[in-house]
Amino acid sequence: MSGVRVAPWQNDSFPSPPSELLAGMQARRPNGELIGIDRVLLRSFPLATGWNELLGRVRADFSLELEYRELIMLRVAVLNHADFEWGVHYPAYLQAGGTEEKCLALKEQSVSGGVFGEEERALITLTDQSTKQVEVNADVIEELKNLFGETKTVEAVATVAAYNMVSRFLVALAI
């Protein structure tokens, strides 16, 4: 984290975050180890609190399958040049059922559908349109609703939006 543009919070920094905030952030991480983005977020306790709640819900509580959410997160990372985000979500995607072949395909500027199923292609189209141009074609949303239903469509759109926020934060502060 040597190139980070703000000094990350350290365990001996003052003021200390509220204990419930720190515990909540640690609970979302393997072995309770805070990562780079956590330490930068802790420069603003209100931001860290809201961020942890929102991203915790996206990561753990959505009905959209984890493999699909991780696919979205990886594609956003590629499109926004967020290497840190890729590094965090790459193993999570593989663990959720993704493959190396799909990871390689996600890194291409234009993703061909060869290795992806219909649902994945629809999610990639959503992610590409939302990330690159913000506006998403109505037919893309209709296809998602037909494939996933309305709840999972809303969750897919929210996952794209949330991880665009994450990647833009990471890139802007060189995390």
Domain boundaries, the chain: 19-60, 66-172
User: Which tokens sit at 132?
Assistant: 């690159």
- Residue 114's pLDDT is 87
State how far the Cα of 145 lies from the Cα of 24, in Å rounded to an integer: 33
As a whole-number percent, the residues of the chain with pLDDT over 70 amount to 98
Q: Is 166 exposed, middle or buried (0-12, 13-18, 19+ CB in 10 A)?
A: buried
pLDDT digits (tens, 9 = 90+) for 105-160: 999 988 876 899 999 999 999 999 999 999 999 999 999 999 999 999 999 999 99
The residue ranges of DSSP E strands in 15-171, in sequence order, are none
The mean-pLDDT minimum among 86-90, 96-100, 112-116, 154-158 falls in 112-116
Q: Give the global pTM.
A: 0.94
* 31 DSSP assignment: G
User: Which tokens sit at 7?
Assistant: 């000094």
Mean pLDDT computed over every residue of the chain? 95
Nearest in space to 105 (alpha carbons), one of 95, 113, 93: 113
CB contact at 8 A, 161 and 143: no
State how far the Cα of 172 lies from the Cα of 175, in Å rounded to an integer: 8
Residue 1 reports pLDDT greater than 60: no
The answer as to CATH 3.40.630.30 being correct for domain 66-172 is no
